[in-house]
Amino acid sequence: MAVVEISGSRILVTGASSGIGRELARELAARGAVLAISARRRALLEDLAEEVGADGRAVPVVLEADLSKRGTAEVLASEAVSALGQIDGLVNNAGGGVGGRIATVGDRDEAREAFEINYWSPLALIKALVPPMMERGRGAVVNVTSMAQVGTWPGFGAYAATKGALAVATETLAMELSESGVHVMEVAPGPVDTAVQGETRLAPGIERMLNRTPLGDAALLASLIARALERGRTRVIYPRRARLGYLLPALVRWDTRRLAARAAKELDPAAREALGSLVVRTGSSGDEIAQTAREAWERDRGRLPTPGRG
């Protein structure tokens, strides 16, 4: 018997406008879920809702929200409940970040926004939506973290810290809800073929680390998440090879330090100085340098038209 019955469940999916969130919304809808989908880009959400409806599924409720802003999560939770009547499942997938050296980023607004969207907003949604699940004795929470909690890279420390914090909160939440009937699952992706790969690969030398694990497919990951929910599993790590890194984090960190040291030696002084002062908002609403890299990645994958064509 499935621990989480997806068919007929009313599920809120954040970060559903692209990447893993979009694929997961498609997968959950295909399995009979009734969805509220949220992100910052309404047009993409409306396209997704139309696509799901065209397949004969229940048309998802579109809820535009910027979870990098404090207080937005509480409003989103209220809107989702108003739209669907109750929420049986919460998928905290929305994410963003900041690129830059720790001593440069510090506690700048970009870093605080990254924590808001990656950590505080998921916790605010949990606070709003989980107590009613506990009263009913059923429900599910899926938190999408990252394998960055195991091995980070120069310039990615603040982002990795947000995901590490959410991973610890997820583990604690699972223990706290163990007898409640509310299922808690962590999804820890390694490199997956989404737009984020474009901005990630701006970091000098990072391919040496990323190439340790084959690039995953977002649609396949979505299928694995849904299947894991139905089987009551508590964690999904993908791609498969990333599981070894999760089990042996000390080895990953040793290897990553070695690769990062090699990459640092190859930087010329001008590049090293430029990187030392650089701070970039990343994600779908990030700075121009991040947006350009994301679009280039998608264009190379044939998911965006080439400028000047079509």
- Which of the residues are catalytic? 159
Total residue length of the chain:
310
CA–CA distance, 140 with 87 (Å, rounded to integer): 9
Within 10 angstroms of residue 261's Cβ, the number of other Cβ atoms is: 11
| Cβ atoms of residues 140 and 89 within 8 Å | yes
Q: What is the 8-class DSSP label of residue 215?
A: P
Measured CA angle at 303 (ends 152, 204), to 5 deg: 30
Residues 6+ apart with CB under 8 A from 260: 153, 154, 205, 209
User: DSSP letters along 268-310, please?
Assistant: -HHHHHHHHH--EEESTT--HHHHHHHHHHHHHTTSSPPTT--
Cα dihedral 261, 145, 281, 254, rounded to 10, equals -10
Residues 6+ apart with CB under 8 A from 273: none
Taken in order 283, 284, 290, 293, is the CA torsion positive or negative?
positive
Residues 6+ apart with CB under 8 A from 203: 99, 153, 154, 155, 156
CA–CA distance, 223 with 109 (Å, rounded to integer): 36
